Amino acid sequence: MTTTTACLTALRKRNGEHVPFNLDKLERAVAAAGAMTGEFEAGIANMVAKAVEVYLADLDELDADKVQEFMECQLMEAGFFRTARACILYRERRQVQAAANDGGCIRVA
């Protein structure tokens, strides 16, 4: 079995820092969201993370917002609408918090 992880080497975080892409971290985030909503367990999180990884492999540049966007889309495609909504609201809250810390400007992706 081949994996696309080798292509996904660097991720630009929201603060501009570049870090190695970590599929396990993505899987943990999906699992936490699924557990919070009660829609699915950890095994499903692995499948969602792998599906997101396939989408991301086609991108030239990887950033945190794109990863989250693809995760939300994949959750919706899989029928996990409550979990996708929770992720969207979480991202929005993080943007508002960051804006408050950054002088009040909300960045729109």
Lowest mean pLDDT across 2-11, 17-26, 44-53: 2-11
**Looking at the 3D structure of the chain, how many domains does it have?**
1
- 50 in a structural domain: yes
Q: Can you tell me the mean pLDDT for 16-31? A: 94
- 106 in a structural domain: no
- 87 in a structural domain: yes
Which positions ≥6 away from 81 have C-beta within 8 Å? Answer: 75
- 71 in a structural domain: yes
pLDDT of residue 95: 82
- 23 in a structural domain: yes
- 37 in a structural domain: yes
Lowest mean pLDDT across 3-7, 17-21, 67-71, 97-101: 3-7
- 59 in a structural domain: yes
Q: 49 falls in which pLDDT band (50, 70, 90)?
A: very high
Q: Residue 28's domain spans which residues? A: 7-101
